[in-house]
Chains A and B, each alone.
Chain A
């Protein structure tokens, strides 16, 4: 196995995540770390959603934001990451990973307007 050095804060955190079809499905709001066999820190998962980013707000604002936007977090296993570039590309579709829940909710409303599928 080859070892790749990544600056996680610079190259992964706060980058846009796109699915197999190139559809944006959130930002890397946080990263879960793990220890490998040699006790080195390695990325375990991408955390996406309000539950992850509200934790990064100032202490007085976080709880308010969680009340407004909910505490949903999607945990995307690091093995799901196909490529780390300007965009973080995943191996599956947004739907397979249930990353499209919020978009689908809004789509039900917007989809009712004539011409929305054009």
Chain B
């Protein structure tokens, strides 16, 4: 494929795949409770995922090494194994939440019973991954997720208060900050940061770069796709916060079910708006379910040195293949067991931030090492930002669980 087209498709795929169910839920809720005040966290997290996504892609392109290869090599077997178990627990929970999201979207469209739709979503996802080549999976769900751009149009048509919106891009505390509200604000801040920087994104991105056969020549492609794609993608997250502030807050409503997010699009554009919003959510959630499930299998294969990859026939990557089937099955069982999918979303987001420092630290050490990366090692900017964000996610990881307990998962 020619380069400009590849860059263009890469960017679109990154945009369409940027938002998943956790980000949708927490962005809307943050908008309802704090207006535009938390917008800065969304942007701040986006820069963080750009820094580490770029590093993961670069290490994969230069050394052909995926994230869990790096982790095991740098922190050793024991600590690496602990990271693997934690990361895959989060992958499983996130995957479960996304499968629940797919079932909710289908329920809104078809009205069938939720559990049947969870089973149906499981079959759909397994067949998709079994039948489609890697590149197609990336493209179909990434491009389908672009339907969510309807949220951006809705947010703009509702007429944002640009002054307040701009003020929300500056880090700070809310004006009415007192005791419990301050704690709730901090909780949303950590959750939003976590949802933007979910750990599976770097695992999947690096594994995907190797599946696509990247070489050091692709470093520029990597940089452009990550920076432009993720920045544009973060506009969607910003739009969702704005919709929370502009549409749901004045109506005194909090969209408890992710499906309700489609309402503002329906009000603005009627039937077409509703279908676009639900369609976009379906592709985004299903895409994220596939990415988290595959990430789990990638991580296992990279940690234990199994043959892996969608490009190998399943029988030549049997343990890898059995792993993703098992993860999708477990995820469907979790969300089909009667646990509220919104609870699963909250748990996955809160626990995810705890894994971030464990995944980022080895990545930073390797990406900065001239002996390993040669001329492609981190420059001053990547190192400075890398260390800064490592400190930030470590602090967020320490606060996440106490904040979750104090706010009872954002319910105040």
Interface residues of A (CB under 8 A from B): 14-17, 23-27, 29, 48, 53, 56-58, 86-87, 102-104, 106-107, 109-111, 113, 115-118
B332 CB to closest chain A CB (Å) equals: 18
CB nearest neighbor in B for A48:
B305
Which of B78, B314, B315 has most A Cβ within 10 Å? B315
Rounded to whole angstroms, the CA-CA distance of A14 and B19 in the bound complex is: 35
List residues 68-123 of chain B with CB under 8 A from any CB of chain A.
69, 72-73, 76-78, 80-81
- Give the B interface residue count (CB, 8 A): 29
Q: B318, A109: Cβ atoms under 8 Å? A: yes
Rounded to whole angstroms, the CA-CA distance of A42 and B257 in the bound complex is: 62
CB nearest neighbor in A for B306:
A24
Rounded to whole angstroms, the CA-CA distance of A57 and B69 in the bound complex is: 18
Q: A106, B131: Cβ atoms under 8 Å? A: no
Q: B64, A86: Cβ atoms under 8 Å? A: yes
Scoring B residues 303 to 335 as 1 if CB is less than 8 Å from chain A, else 0, what string do you get? 111111000011110110110000000000000
Q: A110, B77: Cβ atoms under 8 Å? A: no
Residues of chain B lying within 8 A (CB to CB) of residue A15: 73
Q: B322, A110: Cβ atoms under 8 Å? A: yes
Q: Is the interface of B mostly helix, strand, loop or mixed?
A: helix
Residues of chain A lying within 8 A (CB to CB) of residue B65: 86
Q: B315, A116: Cβ atoms under 8 Å? A: yes
Rounded to whole angstroms, the CA-CA distance of A102 and B318 in the bound complex is: 9
Q: B77, A24: Cβ atoms under 8 Å? A: no
List residues 233-274 of chain B with CB under 8 A from any CB of chain A.
none
Q: A27, B72: Cβ atoms under 8 Å? A: yes
19 more contacts with CB within 8 A, not counting A14-B73, A103-B306, A103-B318, are A14-B76, A14-B80, A24-B301, A24-B305, A26-B304, A27-B72, A53-B77, A57-B77, A58-B78, A86-B63, A103-B319, A106-B319, A109-B318, A110-B314, A110-B315, A110-B321, A111-B315, A115-B130, A116-B315
